[in-house]
Every structure is written in C-alpha cells, then in structure tokens.
Amino acid sequence: MVKLRSLSVAVGHAKNQTLAHPEAYATVKKSGPVAYNSGDWGQIIFQCFGSAWPKVLPFCLLNTLSVIIFMLLRDHDIIDCSLSSQAHTYGSVVLSFLLVSRINTALARYNESRGFIGIMYQETRELIQYAICLSKHYGNMDKEAREWRNELAYRSMILLRMAIAVVEFCSKGQPAWKCKELTGIEKLYMTPDDSWSLHSQATSESEYTNSMRVPFRAAFLVRETVTSNQNRLKTPLHITQMNAMLTSVDRFMSGFYGMRKFITTPVPFPLIQMTRTILCFYLFTIPLIFLKDSKAENVVEHSLSVFMLTYGFMGLELVAIELDDPFGNDDNDFDCLAFANMVFEDSFLMIHHVDGEEWANNLRKRMCRYDDEGKTDVMDANEKTNLLNHADKILKEGESFRMDSFAV
C-alpha cells in the first residue's frame, strides 16, 4: 500500500510541476504522425492537416488552366498544340509502374525506420527496469546502489537522447553534444576535442560526422556503468543478469545501426530521376491530348478530368517525397522527441517508486535543466505529437480509435 501511495504521489508531483510552470508548454507545437478516424469519410476527404492537398493543388490548377488556355488558342485559330494519345497510352503504363515502385519503396522505408526507433524506445525502458528490479532484488538499497541506479538511468536516457539528436540533425541542425540534457562528465566525454581529429578523417568542424559518433560513446558509458555493479553494489548482480542488461544495450544499438543505414542510404537517384522526368512530361502534356477530340462545350468535363489525373499522379509522388524523410518538420513526420520524453517520464516514475522522490527529482533536474527559479524547458521539447492528443480526445468522447503501430 505504501509503494502504491508513493507512486501516486510521483504522478501527482509531475502534474503539479506542469501546472506550476505552464510557460514550459507555451511554445509546444503539435506535429505528426497525423491521427485520423478511418470510419469518418468527411474527415478523411476534407482534412487539410497532413494532407497532400496543399502541395498538389497548385499543380492541379496549373494543368487545368493550361487546358482552358490551349482550347481558347485552338478555337480562335491561333495555334493548335494537340497531340496524339498513342504515346500517352504506353507512357501511362511505364509511369504507373514507376510510381507504384516509388511509393512502395518509400512506405517500406517509412515503416522500417519506425521499427528501428521503436526498438530504441523499448530497450531504454527495459534496461532501466532491469537495473532497478535486479539490484533491488538483492537488497541493494544503500546510497551507493541508488547512485548506481541513478547513473545508469541517466546514461541510458542520454543514449536515447543522443540517438534522437543524430536522427533529427538534418532537419534541426543541432549536434548531439549540444543537447541541453547532456551535462557533467558525460558532456566532456561526448564533446569533440583534438583527439577526435587526431584519430579520424573528420575535422572538428564536421558536426554531422562527429554527431554520428556520439551515440557510440554514450553506449560505452552505459556498458561501463552496467559492468561497474561488481564493484559498486554491496551484492553484485549475477553474470547472467548483467549479460541480459548488456544484451539490451546491444539491441538498442542494433536499432541505431538501422537508423544510420536509413539516413546514409537514400533511394537510388536514377530511380527518382526517371520517375520525376516521365511524370512531368506525362502530366504537363495531358492538356494537349484532350485538344485532339475536344469541343468548346466540353471544357468543364476535360478540365475536371485533367484536374483529377494531376491530383492522382502528382499526389503520389509528393506523398513519396514526404515519406522519404520521416524525421523532419512535416505534418506526417515522426515526433521522436515527444515519444522520447515519455520514456524519460516513465524512468522518473520507476526511480521514484524504488529510491524515493529525492532521487527521482535529482534525475529529473539533470534531464530537464531546472534553473535557479525552478523553471524548466521540459527537456527542450519544441514539439508535441498530435497523435497522443487525438487519442486522448477520442477516448474521452467514447469513440473507437484505430491506429496501426501506435505503440511507442
């Protein structure tokens, strides 16, 4: 009963911190992935947030306007630009094949990257929980044991934060070692110095390359903390239990290696070039095909046909472009930091449950960077996933909620 009460106090304390400092959430920006109710036809068709409509609409209007202009030029005997439809008949087959391959490749990469990110979230939670449960099981409840658990929890969360910083580097431009959560000896160890240039081809100015190395160094610190239990705990862990924790670190790094592969291996350029070239030629010559057998009274019918053809073909290409980089600032991109913050909060609660409020607050302060006035920027979060807000809203309204791969 006492443990359950202490856990509820921890939750209440977290809520009080939010209420006490609402300015920390004032600049939070909602972002993707976009949540939706697949049974709501009106929402699916007319929703603009996360839709392809804002990007594809200019192309649709341009092509529709071209139909009208070319028909007026032809009807006034100025110029007749009509083309035979035979080339388009064969071209549509090639274009359809390329677009289907393009969208399938982009969607497969999108789902694969989400799987790798999910592994990192999962293993961070598992590692911290392993450390807490196993060390507590052997009666390690003295100050040294609490320091070991606090250090392992902090370094595990920093490992996740550094991996997220690498994933988001291209969109945010922030090197991993400049994250505000990174402090103390960990910051000194992960900040590039002269030795980095001495033993690598990258210079000190190569922020992207050096950021890629930071998670490896963070993983080394986590492994050092795990193995240090033999000297720091009154009753050390059994070798098989320590190996289970190290295996969790290995699985985390497998997820990070997968993300590195995703980042450094884009879709082959020739495939993108061929698809884009054929698409542009096909779409922007569609108005000339309709001139062959069109009459002035059919302008509305042909304009609508051109509009929908442009929406279909160009829309698929624009969707594939958005899926190519799911870690930017687009509506459908993953909100990696928001989900990482959930992992951090779960860790605070676990530490609070075993070691008490003081140790949980020490860990929270180190991650959240409280200033002298007690204010915090909530782990430097500048975005908040709209997925969670939408789920809460639907659950409160009692509606059904369907979302694939919702688990963090």
State how far the Cα of 62 lies from the Cα of 196, in Å rounded to an integer: 52
Cβ neighbours for 321, distance < 8 A, ≥ 6 positions apart:
none
Could you give the CA distance from residue 406 to residue 391 in angstroms, rounded to a whole number? 10
- Distance, in Å, from the CA atom of 175 to the CA atom of 226, rounded to the nearest integer, reads 26
- Per-residue model confidence as pLDDT tens digits over 318-361: 999 999 989 878 888 888 998 999 999 999 999 999 999 999 99
CB 204 within 8 A of CB 401: no
* The pTM of the whole model exceeds 0.75: yes
Give kind and range of the element (H or E) at residue 30.
Answer: strand 30-31
d(CA 260, CA 113): 10
Question: How many of the other CB atoms lie within 10 Å of CB of 168?
Answer: 20
Mean pLDDT of 98-109: 93
3-state secondary structure of 384: strand
Residue whose C-alpha is closest to residue 256's, from 215, 196, 299: 215
**pLDDT at position 392 over 60:** no
**Which structure tokens are listed for 381?**
């979060």
- Better-scored residue on pLDDT, 9 or 39: 39
Asked whether residue 301 carries a pLDDT value surpassing 90, the answer given is: no
For residue 385, name the pLDDT band (cuts at 50, 70, 90): very low
Say whether 332 sits in a helix, a strand or coil.
coil
Sorted by sequence, the CB contacts under 8 Å of residue 15 that are 6+ apart come out as none
State the Cα angle at 387 between 384 and 393, rounded to 5°. 105
Mean pLDDT computed over 255-268: 93
User: Cα dihedral angle (263, 264, 267, 269), rounded to 10 degrees?
Assistant: 140
User: At 178, is the pLDDT very low, low, confident or very high (cuts 50, 70, 90)?
Assistant: very high
- The tokens for 175 are 């090197």
Q: Which band of pLDDT confidence, cut at 50, 70 and 90, is reported for residue 393?
A: low
Q: Name the burial class of residue 370, with classes exposed (0-12), middle (13-18) and buried (19+) by CB atoms within 10 angstroms of its CB.
A: middle
